[in-house]
Amino acid sequence: MNRKKYKLQTKIGFLVFLLLLLVIVLANSVYAWNEFRQETNDARQLALQTSRSVAGFPAVEDAFENGEKQEADVISEQIRMQVNADQVYIIDRNSEVIAGDGRELDPDSGDAYTALVFGGSYVREGSTDNEEVIRSHAPVSIDYGDYTSVEGAAVVEYSKAAIRADVWKQTGRTAAISLIVLLIGAVCTVWLSRSIRSDTLGLEPYQIADLYRDRAAIIGSVHEGIIAVDNDDRVTMVNKAAEELLQLPRNREGLLIEEVLPSSRERKMLKDSSVIRNEEIITASKTLIVNESPIAQYGQRVGRVFTFRDKTEMKQMIEAFSDVKKYSDDLRAQSHEFTNKLYALMGLLQLGYYTEAEQMLMDESNAQQKHTKKVVDQIRDEKLQAVLLGKAAAASEKKTNFIIDSESFLSSMPKHVTLTSLIIIAGNLIDNAIEAVNGQKKREVSFFVTDIGNDIVMEIRDNGPGMPEDLQTDLFQQGASSKGEGRGYGMANVKNEVDELGGMIEVYSNPEEGTVVSVFIPKERNKEGVRDA
């Protein structure tokens, strides 16, 4: 069931407005309640003090002794106006008003009983004519010389309705101020929601949630390692593939990139300001290809993304393609050579030279058996066997004598030397030697290999014209070749592959003796670095 999706601005506006309204209503309610309590307490205290003061005035005593009520009436009215009371009046012992503009009292109400009988001063809340009032009583005592007698009481009244009206008046002013605050809050809410929307690139929360789910699914399905960092080189994201390729523990977000990567060379390379393109880093068990892409927002770079690919997978693909190409070339060479031999054999048979045809078959069979036997018996590594047999067919097609040195012996290649490595190293060097002897009367290319010692040693020798001195200097540079443009990449590839295996190359070339290329590959991979050729 799909829920209705509201905009972020609507949600924030409604929530903030509701919170402000709730706070304002509660604040004004608490203020009004406290103000009413305070006003009531003040009215009680003021009523008590005023009634005591009125009871002690001489004019009040005269009203009881001489019956002169006029002055007592004036004083009562003045006091009432000064203390803003509703009523200030004097009553006698029968609870009848004798001075002041008092309301009619019920003598049996008992309100004045304590003041008239016991001479006490007090404040009580009651009602008169269905109106709640705060009424204070203070006894009026007359000194007769021999004794003092309570003749009446001074009464002060405050209407609770008037107190409420005054509190509501004050609360109205605070409510007006609260309304202004509410309007300001509404404006700020609109600004806040727009600011948040700008920070989220104009996306609504549900759109961000959808993008996050898609992003997590995509990044989790990618087999390339991905590490994202901000401008302070702090890691913001590491996917599962990067953790596996770089052997990183989980929860690396927030750390500096130099705290994540184990090798100092890797840290230096990734912290470099230049953009990384197809750079290699070597971990404990893998060789990785690193690329970098900037993260931009509003035209400003806010971070970088590094991708890591396992070179082993790339080499496996290269091996697959190389195998297919190698087999195709070998089959083409063998097919071409044996087609020519079949034509020659057919001609001998048609002409009736059966002895010569038989001898040709025997010679070809012996040569193949001898060459194959030497390769199989002396070189027991299947990968190198495949390369040498293919190159032997290619040399035979070009009328070149390809010789496997009788002193050669190899039990097996180290695991880190793959078929692709042998195709690149041995294949390129043999191809160069075959091309070098073109034009020679006697074309010979020899191959020697041994695993005695700590290195695998391969030596390819030809009887060609040798190399010019200037070419020997730049031999391993891409494009360096004496065969014209578009050539000169084979030796560069050989050098890169040998370097990756931690080995070295020696080249000796003399116009009278030809060229000898020796390759030394350590049986155990050199993790400290490569050796110079």
Which CATH number covers residue 111? 3.30.450.20
- Higher-confidence residue: 502 or 63? 502
Using DSSP's 3-state secondary structure scheme, residue 137 falls into: strand
What per-residue confidence (pLDDT) applies to 483?
A: 56
β-bridge mates for residue 522, sequence order: 455
Buried b (16+ CB within 10 A) or exposed e, 157-166: bbbbebbeee
Each residue of 7-47: pLDDT tens digit?
Answer: 767 777 778 888 888 888 888 888 888 888 888 898 899 98
Report the pLDDT averaged over residues 144-171.
85
What per-residue confidence (pLDDT) applies to 531?
A: 46
Q: Which of 158-167, 368-377, 487-496 has the lowest mean pLDDT?
A: 368-377
**Is there a domain that residue 342 lies in?**
no
**Is there a domain that residue 173 lies in?**
no
Sign of the torsion formed by the C-alpha atoms of 353, 357, 359 and 360 = positive
Same structural domain for residues 17 and 89?
yes
Each residue of 301-315: pLDDT tens digit?
Answer: 778 888 888 776 666
Same structural domain for residues 387 and 513?
yes
Containing H/E element for 448? strand 444-450
- Higher-confidence residue: 92 or 372? 92
Report the pLDDT averaged over residues 323-345.
65
**Is there a domain that residue 174 lies in?**
no
pLDDT(481) > 60:
no
**Is there a domain that residue 348 lies in?**
no
Q: Which amino acid does the sequence have at 72? A: A
**Is there a domain that residue 191 lies in?**
no
Longest dimension (CA), the chain: 182
What per-residue confidence (pLDDT) applies to 517?
A: 92
CA dist., res. 191 & res. 196, Å (int): 9
Rg (alpha carbons) of the chain, rounded to whole number: 55
Report the pLDDT averaged over residues 433-438.
88
Residue finishing a domain among 286, 310, 334: 310
Distances in whole angstroms, Cα of residue 317 to Cα of each of 328, 392, 419, 420: 17, 25, 12, 10
- Higher-confidence residue: 93 or 273? 93
CA dist., res. 400 & res. 176, Å (int): 107
Residue finishing a domain among 310, 340, 370: 310
Q: Residue 33's domain spans which residues?
A: 8-166
What per-residue confidence (pLDDT) applies to 314?
A: 62
Same structural domain for residues 153 and 216?
no
pLDDT(448) > 90:
yes
pLDDT(157) > 80:
yes
β-bridge mates for residue 505, sequence order: 519
The strand pair at 287-297 and 279-282 is best described as: antiparallel
Report the pLDDT averaged over residues 494-507.
87
**Is there a domain that residue 285 lies in?**
yes
What per-residue confidence (pLDDT) applies to 1?
A: 46
Residue finishing a domain among 255, 290, 310: 310
Same structural domain for residues 364 and 511?
yes
What per-residue confidence (pLDDT) applies to 181?
A: 83
Token output for 145: 């010389």
Residues in Cβ contact with 58 at an 8 Å cutoff, skipping those fewer than 6 apart: none
Same structural domain for residues 303 and 158?
no
Same structural domain for residues 149 and 230?
no
CA dist., res. 138 & res. 156, Å (int): 9
Same structural domain for residues 161 and 245?
no
Give the up-direction half-sphere exposure of residue 6: CA atoms within 13 A in the CB hemisphere. 9
Same structural domain for residues 209 and 162?
no
Token output for 321: 């393609």
Residues in Cβ contact with 51 at an 8 Å cutoff, skipping those fewer than 6 apart: 121, 136, 137, 138, 153, 154, 155, 156
**Is there a domain that residue 176 lies in?**
no
Same structural domain for residues 293 and 372?
no
Report the pLDDT averaged over residues 192-201.
75
372: pLDDT confidence band, cut at 50, 70 and 90? low
Considering the entire predicted model, what is its pTM? 0.42
The total of structural domains in the chain comes to: 3
Average pLDDT of the chain to the nearest whole number: 78
Domain with residue 395: its CATH number is 3.30.565.10
**Is there a domain that residue 182 lies in?**
no
Same structural domain for residues 403 and 511?
yes
Token output for 202: 């104009």
Report the pLDDT averaged over residues 188-215.
76
Each residue of 100-120: pLDDT tens digit?
Answer: 765 555 544 557 878 888 888
CA dist., res. 153 & res. 122, Å (int): 11
Same structural domain for residues 410 and 464?
yes
Q: How far apart are the first and last CA of the chain?
A: 70
Each residue of 269-295: pLDDT tens digit?
Answer: 555 555 677 677 766 566 777 888 887
Same structural domain for residues 416 and 285?
no
Residues in Cβ contact with 455 at an 8 Å cutoff, skipping those fewer than 6 apart: 503, 520, 521, 522, 523
Report the pLDDT averaged over residues 176-191.
83
Token output for 11: 């949600």
Each residue of 505-533: pLDDT tens digit?
Answer: 998 888 778 899 999 999 887 544 444 44
